[in-house]
Structure 1
Amino acid sequence: MAPVEIYDTTLRDGAQGEGISFSVEDKVKIALKLDEMGFHYIEGGWPGSNPKDADFFQRIRQHRLKNARLAAFGSTRRPGVPAHQDPNLQSLLAAGTPVATIFGKTWDFHVQKALETTLEENLAMIRESVRFLKSRGLMVIYDAEHFFDGFKANPAYALATLKAAQEGGADRLVLCDTNGGSLPGQIAAIVGRVKEEVPVPLGIHCHNDGELAVANTLAAVEAGVVHVQGTVNGYGERCGNANLCSVIPNLTLKCGHETIPRDALARLTELSRYVSEVANLHHNTHQPFVGASAFAHKGGVHVSAILKDPRTYEHIDPSLVGNRRRVLVSELSGLSNLLYKFRELNLELGTSREENRRLLEEIKELEYQGFMFEGAEGSFELLLRRAYDNYREPFKLESLRIIIEMKENSPVHSEAVIKMTVGDKVVHTAAEGNGPVNALDNALRKALEDFYPEIRRMKLTDYKVRVLDEKQGTAATVRVHIETGDGERSWGTVGVSTNIIEASWQALVDSIAYGLLKNNRHR
């Protein structure tokens, strides 16, 4: 199959997504990661629109890209302004990139309503802008904005805009589903028609407003485009752009096209999570191919089957995209789930089938009470080890007292007094905090750090409280989920109680106990 060029616009179109604001340093980091992954083009931004993007193009010059070609983005010249005098086109030259990507109007409705110019002037704007940039030695990619809507409304004029870009010397003609409302069949039919009319290599740029951006992109490639534009994780304005984390593996593994190198494909999950981290967004666990749930199995029938052959419930080997198989344990689990988890942890399952069933029923009862082990692997592993591994608790609570003092016009004072046994020693200490849970956390650490210095590296990174039965009001059961990290790994733990302090205590104790377990096993 023919190779397909991968053009990333995370730094420009992706940055237009709600909740995303990349700093210049963020953009540089992502650009270098995309280059490392073997992407063919990286669109760095629109230098004529804001100082940040202009600064990025200056900063990126300090780095030598090994695989990707950097593109600056802009528009065609303004109506009535000669190309060589247009400030936007001049900013593209000033960016110093080898590639310029410009968009122009394809839809006659947009030309007359948005640009307020004539159809003939718009064609001249496209032709002369492309020609000007080509005369300065740049590769020029022409993005035909609203192409599919424009083609549906006026096919002859939409094709005329492409031919104007072709006459100007455009190297790629990219058909844009800007409003994201087209269907795969429509995309394929229109791409086929365009191929009959213009000889320039075609590209595709889809938005996800109908949740079809990936499907439309694949349909366009099957119809003959050789250049694909999209963003990492599908970031972008409104509902986002075509998600390259889905497009790339589909093209490579399902359609047989050459895209990024195969060794880079095996780091696609790493790339996806890296970009979400830089963007300061939670990674979408349900994202195909690269999400944590993409190869997660929960139902007992499913787990029983994948133990025999993973292909029974997995469309690809997770390692091909750098992901991994996960088996979840919940009220839907069977013995196969337990068997898989014990193998994963290198533990010996109980010899008695009845004993194993009792453990499974205990897990289901805990789930019924409100425990959720899917995001609390620390608590779950400790549960298994306590059942079968002769696990010894690293410490034991003797007593705990929380003191909260409130006075008029004064900050609330919280203090935790704790008495614990560690080995053959009894520790009695106290600590303050900016709330009862924080005071509890501080007192627990203060009591244990002399015995387990590695606790100093363990930091609570997330703390969530979920009310499980809202109708009970302040008497409701709550679930506390804690995320902890030590700089090398992170883990989740869970606690459930009608008392938020007790639920927090359960999760805190498990977080430290599990961290100590992992630390000892690592050593």
Structure 2
Amino acid sequence: MCPTCDASQQGVPNGTPAIPTSQNPPAINGTSSASNGLTNGSGSGHAQEHTPHNPRRQPFASVGDYLSNVSNFSIIESTLREGEQFANAFFDTDTKVRIAKALDAFGVEYIELTNPTSSEQSRKDCEIICKLGLKAKILTHVRCHMDDAKLAVETGVDGLDLVIGTSPQLMQHSHGKTMDYIRETALEVISFVKSKGLEVRFSSEDSFRSDLVDLLNIYSAVDRIGGVNRVGIADTIGVANPRQVYDLVRTLRGCVHCDIETHMHNDTGCAIANSLCALEAGATHVDTSVLGIGERNGITPLGGFVARMLTLDRDYVRSKYDLAKLKPLEDLVASAVEINIPFNNPVTGFCAFTHKAGIHAKAILANPTTYEIINPADFGMTRYVHFASRLTGWNAIKSRVEQLGLVMTDSQIKQCTAKIKAMADVRHLAIEDIDKKHQFQVKEQEMAAEPEARELDHVVEEQTKVLNGVVGEVDGREEKVEALNGEGVVVNGTA
């Protein structure tokens, strides 16, 4: 049993609250019908399998948990702090202001800034952003040191994020302090920050290589005595896996009454999964950065995290965040740090909603939920059906013919499909290839004898015009269409 826990809150030995019975299920985030956040609204389509109005059961759905916060979390967006530690990052004041405004427009609850003691310009930038009047609360990330705290509170921020290393490696080779020193210093600095009326979070650094008893003792002290708003767990080197994260957060949840923040690095590719597991175990706040940029290979990416949470509670996520602003936000940050958005980036990667195989295309055209868990329209994106390959099916070609308003029989469409597949067996096809008349044209005498061949050539020419940027219909509105590598069929993004 955690020695500092309130026994009246424990219910059963070892600090584990009593488990509600099936006859008296607990309310989760305000509704007793929730199951680990899987209350996704009443609409049909994407991520709608488990709702009061659509109660189909999924055999592999998450188990309901009364501590889960997958439908009750806040994002602490750290692009302007952790992201500034990205190897390629240089944010001048104007860029910082534009990123801060874009994050605020997206809807994040907190924006974290670089320690104002880092440089004179960092201090000035902090003051400038604090004066923008954003809806998001402005935090700054500082060392658990009185000098840092005194300067930070003068910048106008809404809160301070205090951090100090607690692992044996950092205590020996970084700051050289003992746990007793860390505890006393933390209480002193927290008391000072609280006296200024500001929010304060205390976080250990390298939490998953720290001694568990040390962690619980320091967290219990700052919660019970210091009165922090949040305690933080940081997987500073990306060593943790989801099970380890769940176990540590669940244990900590039984020892503190304040909120719990998590900061997950992506060295081993687990940042998003670890952030989700932390929420399932009772954490309340998640640190992110746009495109995951940060020290080494960064932390939990904002877009990927939001996409993950959207599949668990679509209505909740859509009510909090303006998802259509994600792509412009990522474009802004990618340009600022001079990188391309990865092709496999969740949601906004260039092929995130591209369907190529014939059986996939057929199913997608019939019902997008067959091969999409996320509706691209939620993010202002559009799906594509790729047709210029050997894997294409005649359903994809038929869809383009119908979009062009042409009249062709199924037999003619299948002939067209066979010709495209045969060409694609020879080499990669792009729209420029299809545009070359000789690659689709048959002999002059065959065209005269075969009306279907002339119709096929006409279809190819019309497809080329549309896919090269002629006005097309997307999401019910007329606009210029940019074909995906010149190879795709644009399909309405609405399920």
Q: CA deviation at 1:237?
A: 1.7
Find the partner of 1:18 among 87, 96, 117. 87
- 1:332 corresponds in structure 2 to 391
- 1:69 corresponds in structure 2 to 137
Q: How far apart are the structure 2 equivalents of 1:350 and 1:72?
A: 63
Q: How far apart are the structure 2 equivalents of 1:241 and 1:281?
A: 16
- 1:121 corresponds in structure 2 to 181
1:34 aligns with 2:92: no
Number of aligned residues: 385
Which deviations, in whole Å up to 9, do the C-alpha atoms of 1:405-447 show, x marking residues without a partner?
Answer: xxxxxxxxxxxxxxxxxxxxxxxxxxxxxxxxxxxxxxxxxxx
Q: How far apart are the structure 1 equivalents of 2:98 and 2:126?
A: 13
Counting only pairs closer than 5 Å after superposition, residues 286-297 of structure 1 correspond to structure 2 as 286-297=344-355
Q: CA 1:23–1:338 in structure 2 vs 1: closer, same or farther (change >3 Å)?
A: farther
1:285 aligns with 2:353: no
1:101 aligns with 2:161: yes
Q: CA 1:136–1:390 in structure 2 vs 1: closer, same or farther (change >3 Å)?
A: closer
1:327–1:341 Cα contact (<8 Å) kept: no
Q: Could you tell which deviates more after superposition, 206-215 or 287-296?
A: 287-296
Q: How far apart are the structure 2 equivalents of 1:492 and 1:183?
A: 36
Q: Could you tell which deviates more after superposition, 42-51 or 177-186?
A: 42-51
2:227 maps to a residue whose letter is G
Q: CA 1:336–1:259 in structure 2 vs 1: closer, same or farther (change >3 Å)?
A: closer
- 1:4 corresponds in structure 2 to 73
2:110 maps to a residue whose letter is Y
1:298 aligns with 2:356: yes
Q: How far apart are the structure 2 equivalents of 1:492 and 1:335?
A: 19
Q: What SS does structure 2 have at the residue aligned with 1:115?
A: coil
Q: CA 1:18–1:370 in structure 2 vs 1: closer, same or farther (change >3 Å)?
A: farther
Q: CA 1:491–1:312 in structure 2 vs 1: closer, same or farther (change >3 Å)?
A: closer
Q: CA 1:111–1:493 in structure 2 vs 1: closer, same or farther (change >3 Å)?
A: closer
Q: CA 1:381–1:337 in structure 2 vs 1: closer, same or farther (change >3 Å)?
A: farther
Q: How far apart are the structure 2 equivalents of 1:387 and 1:311?
A: 33
Q: CA deviation at 1:265?
A: 2.6
Q: Could you tell which deviates more after superposition, 12-21 or 295-304?
A: 12-21
Q: What SS does structure 1 have at the residue aligned with 2:113?
A: strand
Q: How far apart are the structure 1 equivalents of 2:264 and 2:174?
A: 21
Q: CA deviation at 1:382?
A: 9.2
Q: CA 1:366–1:63 in structure 2 vs 1: closer, same or farther (change >3 Å)?
A: farther
2:396 maps to a residue whose letter is N
Which has a greater percent of strand?
A: 1
Gaps of 5+ in 1: 78-82, 395-487, 496-523
Which deviations, in whole Å up to 9, do the C-alpha atoms of 1:216-260 show, x marking residues without a partner?
Answer: 100010000111111122112222201121222322441468457
Q: How far apart are the structure 1 equivalents of 2:429 and 2:191?
A: 61
2:260–2:284 Cα contact (<8 Å) kept: yes
Q: Could you tell which deviates more after superposition, 278-287 or 235-244?
A: 278-287
TM-score scaled by length of structure 2: 0.71
Q: CA deviation at 1:101?
A: 1.1
- 1:248 corresponds in structure 2 to 306
Find the partner of 1:59 among 119, 128, 133. 128
Q: What SS does structure 2 have at the residue aligned with 1:117?
A: coil
1:129 maps to a residue whose letter is V
1:6–1:259 Cα contact (<8 Å) kept: no
Q: How far apart are the structure 1 equivalents of 2:314 and 2:413?
A: 45
Q: CA deviation at 1:207?
A: 0.6
Q: How far apart are the structure 1 equivalents of 2:131 and 2:260?
A: 32
- 1:363 corresponds in structure 2 to 420
1:45 aligns with 2:104: no
Counting only pairs closer than 5 Å after superposition, residues 187-266 of structure 1 correspond to structure 2 as 187-255=245-313, 258-259=316-317, 261-262=319-320, 264-266=322-324
2:167–2:206 Cα contact (<8 Å) kept: yes
Counting only pairs closer than 5 Å after superposition, residues 58-457 of structure 1 correspond to structure 2 as 58-65=127-134, 67-77=135-145, 83=146, 86=147, 88-150=148-210, 154-166=211-223, 167-255=225-313, 258-259=316-317, 261-262=319-320, 264-329=322-387, 330-343=389-402, 346-349=403-406, 351-373=408-430, 387-388=458-459
Q: How far apart are the structure 2 equivalents of 1:256 and 1:305?
A: 23
Q: Could you tell which deviates more after superposition, 199-208 or 363-372?
A: 363-372
Q: How far apart are the structure 1 equivalents of 2:184 and 2:434?
A: 66
Which deviations, in whole Å up to 9, do the C-alpha atoms of 1:426-469 show, x marking residues without a partner?
Answer: xxxxxxxxxxxxxxxxxxxxxxxxxxxxxxxxxxxxxxxxxxxx
Q: What SS does structure 2 have at the residue aligned with 1:197?
A: coil
| Structure index of larger Rg | 1
Q: How far apart are the structure 2 equivalents of 1:301 and 1:392?
A: 22
Gaps of 5+ in 2: 1-28, 30-70, 441-455, 466-479, 488-495
Which deviations, in whole Å up to 9, do the C-alpha atoms of 1:265-290 show, x marking residues without a partner?
Answer: 34333433333233332112311223
Q: CA deviation at 1:6?
A: 0.9
Q: CA deviation at 1:380?
A: 6.3
* Identity in percent: 26
Q: CA 1:339–1:269 in structure 2 vs 1: closer, same or farther (change >3 Å)?
A: farther
Q: RMSD value over aligned CA atoms?
A: 3.0
Q: What SS does structure 2 have at the residue aligned with 1:97?
A: coil
- 2:18 corresponds in structure 1 to none
Q: How far apart are the structure 2 equivalents of 1:380 and 1:54?
A: 57
1:251–1:257 Cα contact (<8 Å) kept: no
- 1:501 corresponds in structure 2 to none
Q: What SS does structure 2 have at the residue aligned with 1:356?
A: helix
